[in-house]
Amino acid sequence: MDKEQVMDLNALRKITYGMFVVASKKGDKINGQIANTVFQVSAEPPLIAISINKLNLTHEYISESKVFSAAVLSEDTQMTYIGLFGFKSGRDTDKFKASKYKTGVTGVPIALDFTIAYFECEVIGSYDAGTHTIFVGKAVGSEILDDTKEPMTYAYYHEVKKGFSPKTAPTYIPKT
Amino acid sequence: MDKEQVMDLNALRKITYGMFVVASKKGDKINGQIANTVFQVSAEPPLIAISINKLNLTHEYISESKVFSAAVLSEDTQMTYIGLFGFKSGRDTDKFKASKYKTGVTGVPIALDFTIAYFECEVIGSYDAGTHTIFVGKAVGSEILDDTKEPMTYAYYHEVKKGFSPKTAPTYIPKT
């Protein structure tokens, strides 16, 4: 007897994520965006995978420069900051004009305003996941900036901060 | 002037993850393991990526059957359960002998004891990340089983439950 297929995509909302600013560069241009799909995939060497929408400017920058940074955002990150990096495009807005960053060893910008830790990576490979690309990067720099604050989780952003996700998010699920 | 390289791998501990039982099959044999690196990489179609150590039996099963399930564990998951699935090998122990599961549409076991939601996937591709493989699967079944409980986070497991990570975890960082 065949099993009955059950498909409730809301189950995917139960996956836990953090909140990050992933940033990159192209020539002397820099940009960054909010991402929640950032995770370590192996320990030796330390490899980090991120999933970025092909429509995003940061995707173009990472594809070209082969370097990116990921800044771990604290729980007290202001919603206006997430609005700037998550809901505006770098094609229209210079996101780093009014926000603090430093330049890493790879030349990428590293967002600083609400960052408790960051790492920067050199891309060693990628995987085409349709609407998104999984970039796999080797960590070449990493630092804890504030060990007293908790990282913001994606659930905290949604439940406590009442935040939304843009349609370009890998975890976007239309309301049914 | 060259930037000074800073490399504190403890920064990677600030990445947020959930806790899952990833399971698969090989012929009529079934096995599962604890994993924290499970994330959605695109929404249409719903693609899930997992990072699994090549040494693990579950890696062998997924490589062969090209199907896997991921069960989202609740905060109240017993440590003995995590001990069974996270610190024992399916080569020595029949992990599903004394724990509840059901068989999904793909034929994989789906762990049930502390599961608040699950999804099962057909592998559509993989990425060789050295010690680990990133398997990318298309969700073909998913269900919420308990919407009243919170998913266990990796941080909760470490900080509240005082849990450890095995050396084969993608996020293992040796104490310095």
Write the pLDDT tens digit of every residue in B22-46: 999 999 999 999 999 999 999 999 9
Average pLDDT of every residue of chain A: 94
A45 prior amide bond cis, ω within 30: yes
Q: What is the pLDDT of residue B1?
A: 46
Going through chain B in order, the beta strands assigned E by DSSP cover 20-26, 29-35, 38-42, 47-53, 67-73, 101-103, 109-111, 115-129, 132-144
- Answer whether residue A3 is part of any domain: no
CA distance B134 to B105: 22
Q: Could you report the per-residue pLDDT of A19-55, keeping only the tens digit for each?
A: 999 999 999 999 999 999 999 999 999 999 999 999 9
Residue A28 lies in a domain: yes
Percent of chain A at pLDDT exceeding 70? 98
Average pLDDT for A115-126:
98
Give the separation between CA B64 and CA A165, rounded to whole angstroms.
36
Full domain range(s) for residue A121: 9-159
Q: Does residue A134 lie in a domain region? A: yes
In a domain, B30, yes or no: yes
pLDDT digits 0-9 by tens, B145-174: 999 999 999 999 998 888 888 888 888 877
Whether B176 is covered by a domain: the verdict is no
In a domain, residue A169? The reply is no
- pLDDT average, residue stretch B120-134: 97
Task: Please determine, for residue A3, whether its predicted confidence score (pLDDT) is greater than 80.
Answer: no
pLDDT of residue A89: 94
What pLDDT score does A1 carry? 45
| B44 has a chain A CB within 8 A of its CB | yes
Give the distance from residue A113's alpha carbon to the nearest chain B alpha carbon, in angstroms: 16
Q: Is A131 on the interface with B (CB under 8 A)?
A: yes
The model's pTM: 0.95
Residue B169 lies inside a defined structural domain of this protein: no
- Is A175 part of a structural domain of the chain? no
Q: Indicate the burial class of B124 (C-beta count within 10 angstroms; 0-12, 13-18, 19 or more).
A: middle
- Residue indicated by tokens 């007290």: A76
Cα separation, B118 vs B112, in Å, equals 9
CB A31 within 8 A of CB A94: no
A2 pLDDT band (50/70/90 cuts)? low
Comparing alpha-carbon positions, the chain A residue that sits nearest to B144 is: A11
Give mean pLDDT, residues B41-65.
97
Q: Is the pLDDT of residue A115 over 50?
A: yes
Q: What pLDDT, on a 0 to 100 scale, did the predictor assign at position A124?
A: 98
Distance from CA of A53 to the nearest CA of B (A): 8
CB of A78 within 8 Å of a chain B CB? The answer is no
Q: Which residue of B has its CA nearest to A127?
A: B127
> What pLDDT, in 10s, does the model give residues B128-139?
999 999 999 999
Report residue B15's pLDDT band, with 50, 70 and 90 as the boundaries.
very high
Does residue A138 carry a pLDDT above 70? yes
- CATH number, residue A55: 2.30.110.10
The predicted pLDDT at position B141 comes to 97
Helices (H), B14-118: 57-65, 79-87
B164 Cβ under 8 Å from any chain A Cβ = no
State the smallest CA–CA distance between residue B87 and chain A in angstroms. 18
- pLDDT tens, position by position, A82-104: 999 999 999 999 999 989 999 99
State the pLDDT confidence band at B21, using cuts at 50, 70 and 90.
very high
Non-local CB neighbours of B54 within 8 Å, separated by 6+ positions: B131, B132, B133
What's the pLDDT tens digit per position in A139-157?
Answer: 999 999 999 999 999 999 9
Q: Within an 8 Å CB–CB cutoff, is residue B45 touching chain A?
A: yes
pLDDT of residue A125: 98
Distance, in Å, from the CA atom of A21 to the CA atom of A137, rounded to the nearest integer, reads 15
* Domains contained in chain A, number: 1
User: What are the strands, taking DSSP E only, across A43-107?
Assistant: 47-53, 67-73, 101-103
